[in-house]
Structure 1
Amino acid sequence: MTGGPLGPRRWPWLLAVLVALGLAFYLLQPILLPFVLGALIGYLGDPLVDMLERRGMGRGLGVSVVFLIFTVLLAIALLIAIPALVHQVDALVRKIPDIYRWITDTLLPWLQARFSVPVSALPEIDWTSRLAENWQSLGKATASTLRGITGSGAGLLAGLFNLALVPVVAFYLMRDWDILMGKILRMVPKAWQENTSLMVGQADEVLGAFIRGQLLVMLALGVIYSLGLSIVGVQLALVLGMVAGLASIVPYLGFIVGIVSSLLVAWFQFHELSALLLVALVFGIGQVLESVVLTPILVGDRIGLHPVAVIFALMAGGQIAGFVGVLVALPVSAVIMVFLRHAVAHYRASDLYTGE
C-alpha cells in the first residue's frame, strides 16, 4: 500500500500542500484582487491566443491582438452601459415611494379581503426626507472614502498600482499560460502525473464551460431581456434585464427575479394586462433561447454544479474572502467537484467499500 500513486505516505504531503495554499490565500487576500482578475482575463484569452498561434501568428502578437479586442469591448460596454444604468437607477429610486404606497393602499387590503388574513398596516413614511437622508448618507460615505484614499499618498498610490497591475498580470499570464501550466504539472510527483494530467484536463473543461460559457450565457440573457423590455417600452429595462442576466448564474433564479420585478414595474407604468403579457412573452422567449440555443452551445452539460452548491459556494466565498472569494468560489468548486469524482471512484474501487 505504499508504492501506489495514491499510497498513504503521499496523502499527508498532498493535504499539507492544500492546507498551506488555503492559508496563504486567506492571509494574502487583501492583495490578491489584481492577480485574480488578471488570471481570469488570462484564462479567458488563452484559447483565443492558441487559435491565433495555430494560424501562424506569434504568441506575443496574438496576446496583443486579443488584449486589444478585450480592451475595446470593455470600453464600448462601459461607455454605453454606465450612463444608462446611472439614469435608470436614479429613476428606480424615485419610484420607491409609489411602490410603497401601492403596497399599503392596494396590495395589503386586497390580500386581507381575499384571504381573510389580518394584515398589519405599514407605517407612514415621509419619503421625500427619507430618500434625501439616505442619499446624503451615501454622499457622506463616498466623500469619506475618497478622503481616506486621497488623504494618504500611500493609499492612493496603492489603489492606482492595483488598478494598473491587472492588465500587466493578464498580459504576462496570457502570454506564458501554457508554459506555466507545464511547469506546475512537472512539479507533481511522477507517480501522480498521469492521473493529475487527466484530472486537470477535466477540470479545465469544467472551468471553461463555466467561466467562458456561463458568463456568455449571462451576458446574452441580459442583452436579450434588456432589448425585449425596451421594445415593450418598460422603464428600467437595462437595469431589469442585466439583473436578470446576472442572477441566471443560478439556474432559473434569473428568470424568476427578472419576470417578477419586470411585471411589477410594467404594472406601475402601464396598469394594463397587455403590458404584463408582453413582459411575460419577453422572458418566455429568453428562457426558450437559453434552454434550446445558449446553454447547449456555450455551456453544454459539463458544469454539473447543483444550484444549491452554486449558492453555497458564492456565500462561502464572500464570507471567507469578500469579493475575491466570490470571484474564485465557483471555479474552485468546479475543480473540487472533478477531484471529488475521482476520489469517489477510487473509494468505490477500494477494499473498504467492497468489503473484500
Structure 2
Amino acid sequence: MYELAAVILVLIFAVLFAYVVAPLVQLAERPIRIATRRWRLPRGVAIVLIYLLMAGILSIGGALLLPSAGEQVDDMIASAPAYAQSVVAWERDWSGYYDRLRIPLELRRNIDQSVLAAGQAAVASSRASLFALAGALSNLPWLMLIPILAFFLLKDAVSFRRSFLTALPHRARLHGHRLLEDLNATLGAYIRAQLLACAVAGIVCGIGFAVLGVPYPLLLGALAGALEFIPLVGPLVVAIVASIVAALHAPMLVLWTAGFLGTFRVVEDYVIYPRLIRRG
C-alpha cells in the first residue's frame, strides 16, 4: 500500500513538473531562421535542453547558497542554549510585566495559553518540515523518477491526448477536446502561478529578513517559500516562527518583522498573485 501511494505521489509531482516546464519547452521549440531555412528543435531535444539549463541553474544556486545555509544551521544549533536562557529570562520579565499592570489571573492564563499554543504550533510545524525533508531525502530514488516521467509526459502529450479523444464516442470528441484545452490551460496557469508565488515569497522574505537583521534569513526564506504553497496556514506558521526568532534576538525586532510580513502578505495576495494567475 505504501509503495502504491508513493507511485501515485510521484505521478502527481511528475504532472506538476511537466506543467511547469511546458512553457519553457514550447519556447525552445520555436523555429529559428538560419540563412534561408527555418530550423526547429525536435521536442525531445528541446526538453533535454531545458533540463540541462535547469540543472545548471540549480547547481549554481546550490553552490552559492548551500554553504551559507549550512553555516546558519550550525549557528542555530550552537545558539540553542543561549536561546533557552533567553526564553527563561523572557518568561521572568513577562511575569513582572503582569504584576506591574495588575492583570487579572484569568486573563493571564488566557494570554499564556495563547502564547504557548502559538509556540507549540510553530515548533510542531518546524519539526514536521524537518521530518518531511528527511523523508524526501530518504525517498531520493523515487524523486529522481519525477523528471524522467515528466519527460515522457511532455514528449508524448499530443499522443496521450489523441488516444484519449479517440476512445470517446464520435459525438463527444469535440466537447472532450474543448474540455481538455480548458482544463489544461486552467490547471497549468494555477500550478505555475502557485510555484512562482512560492519563489517570490522565499526570495522577498529572505531578503527582507536579512535587511531587518533577523537571524537565519536564508533558512526562514526557504521556509516561507515552501509553506507559501499552503494557503492561510503556511504564511501564519512563517509569521509565528519568524516572530519567535526575532524576539529571541531582539524584542523590538518583532514589530518590524510583523510589519514587514503583514505588508508583504497584502501585496502578495492583492497585487502579485492575481497578476501571476492572469499571466500563468
Same-fold status (TM-score > 0.5) = yes
Partner residue, 1:232: 212
- The 5 Å alignment of 1:1-356 reads 28-55=4-31, 56-93=40-77, 94-95=79-80, 97-98=84-85, 100-102=87-89, 104-107=91-94, 110=97, 114-117=103-106, 119=109, 162=142, 164-271=144-251, 273=252, 275-300=253-278
Which protein has greater RCO, CA pairs closer than 8 Å, 6+ apart?
2
The number of residues matched between the two structures is 244
Change (3 A) 1:254 1:86: same
Residue 216 of structure 1, CA deviation: 0.7
Provide the C-alpha distance between the structure 2 equivalents of 1:210 and 1:102, rounded to a whole number of angstroms. 47
1:103-134: CA deviations, max 9, x gaps?
64344665685242264999xxxxxxxxxxxx
Query: What SS does the aligned partner of 1:235 have?
Result: coil
- % identical aligned pairs: 25
Does the 8 A contact of 1:209 with 1:299 survive in 2? yes
1:52-72: CA deviations, max 9, x gaps?
323333323311221112212
TM score, norm. by length of structure 1:
0.57
Residue 162 of structure 1, CA deviation: 4.0
Change (3 A) 1:221 1:163: closer
- CA-atom RMSD in angstroms: 3.6
Residue 86 of structure 1, CA deviation: 4.0
Change (3 A) 1:187 1:247: same
**Stretch of structure 1 that moved more, 162-171 or 107-116:** 107-116
Change (3 A) 1:193 1:71: same
Partner residue, 1:328: none
Change (3 A) 1:106 1:31: same
Query: What SS does the aligned partner of 2:41 have?
Result: coil
Amino acid at match of 1:278: W
Change (3 A) 1:89 1:210: farther
5+ residue gaps, structure 1: 1-24, 123-137, 150-158, 303-356
Query: What SS does the aligned partner of 2:103 have?
Result: helix
Provide the C-alpha distance between the structure 2 equivalents of 1:107 and 1:222, rounded to a whole number of angstroms. 33
Change (3 A) 1:98 1:72: farther
Change (3 A) 1:253 1:57: same
TM score, norm. by length of structure 2:
0.70
**Stretch of structure 1 that moved more, 102-111 or 252-261:** 102-111
1:133-179: CA deviations, max 9, x gaps?
xxxxx9xxx9xxx9xx9xxxxxxxxx786455443323222222222
5+ residue gaps, structure 2: 32-39, 114-129
Change (3 A) 1:230 1:114: same
